[in-house]
């Protein structure tokens, strides 16, 4: 999917949804970036006027139910977040719980639901929550990504009760940035789940991009490595 160029100010304000979860780390990582010709100002977002200052948004990890419930109790915020996620000119990145919020539907066990109606940032993606189970609730996996700066150095991806892609629709036009190495793959969800039959080839797709939208099922803000943030700012925020 090609990105339409847009006029961006010299100082780009990036909001990090700060209702709950790991937001402060995202702010610190974003503030370290020095993209050519622009300055990044990263701010926490708790209210509608704060969101309205932003050109781009990060939805961090945390509890997706808690995040959506707090957002819906803050005047105007949830509606504005939904608009933001739908606007093709706005860059949005969801990590972990943020990825769940960007899915069309998400499920766990026998359940199927959509956390927040309309917040379909990626389009055509179903996710399965907590597929990795208790044994693998947290783990680290090296990802090799040719499009990162210094590509020969693997990115140490940290997964904490990570969501997994259940399936991508064939029309989704989603670009896969990184796959989980085979030895880390979760067990496939049951074939007869309410989400429909999983696509086992999609299970390891832990980093996806579509236009200015991006999702990662891991926590790049805990790796001590700013390259995923740098990737998102260059490709999705600046569109270059
Ligand atoms: C930065 O700005 C200069 C001057 O306008 C331009 O030539 C250059 O391509 C820009 N760099 C990037 C990475 O866009």
160 is in an annotated binding site: yes
Map out the domains of the chain as residue ranges. Answer: 11-237
For residue 35, give the ligand 1 atom closest to its CA: 13
Instruction: Say which CATH class 11-237 falls into.
Output: alpha beta
| 235 pLDDT more than 90 | yes
| 174 pLDDT more than 70 | yes
Is there a catalytic annotation at residue 221? yes
pLDDT single digits (tens) 31-64: 999 999 999 999 999 999 999 999 999 999 877 7
Residue 14 Cα to ligand 1 midpoint, Å, equals: 21
Binding site membership of 240 for ligand 1 (Cβ less than 6 Å): yes
The confidence band for 188, taking pLDDT boundaries of 50, 70 and 90, is confident
Is there a catalytic annotation at residue 54? no
98 is in an annotated binding site: no
For residue 36, give the ligand 1 atom closest to its CA: 13
Residue nearest to atom 4 of ligand 1 (CA): 37
Give residue for tokens 């990590």.
95
112 is in an annotated binding site: no
Is there a catalytic annotation at residue 38? no
């Amino acid at each position: 999917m090609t990105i339409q160029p847009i006029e961006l100010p010299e100082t780009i304000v990036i909001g990090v949804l700060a209702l709950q979860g790991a937001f402060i780390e995202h702010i610190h990582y974003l503030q370290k970036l020095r993209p050519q010709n622009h300055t990044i100002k990263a701010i926490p977002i708790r209210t509608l006027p704060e969101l309205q200052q932003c050109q781009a948004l990060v939805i961090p990890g945390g509890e997706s139910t808690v995040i959506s419930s707090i957002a819906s109790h803050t005047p105007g915020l949830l509606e504005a977040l939904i608009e933001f996620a739908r606007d093709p000119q706005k860059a949005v990145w969801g990590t972990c719980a943020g990825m769940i919020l960007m899915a069309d539907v998400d499920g766990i066990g026998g359940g199927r639901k959509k956390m927040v109606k309309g917040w379909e940032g990626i389009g055509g993606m179903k996710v399965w929550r907590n597929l990795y189970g208790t044994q693998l609730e947290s783990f680290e996996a090296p990802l090799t990504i040719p499009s990162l700066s210094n590509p020969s150095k693997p990115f140490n991806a940290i997964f904490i009760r990570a969501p997994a892609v259940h399936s991508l629709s064939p029309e989704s036009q989603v670009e896969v940035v990184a796959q989980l190495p085979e030895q880390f793959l979760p067990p496939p969800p049951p074939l007869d789940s309410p989400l429909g039959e999983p696509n086992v080839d999609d299970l390891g797709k832990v980093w996806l991009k579509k236009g200015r939208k991006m999702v990662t099922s891991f926590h790049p803000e805990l790796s001590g490595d700013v390259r995923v943030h740098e990737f998102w700012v260059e490709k999705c925020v600046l569109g270059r």
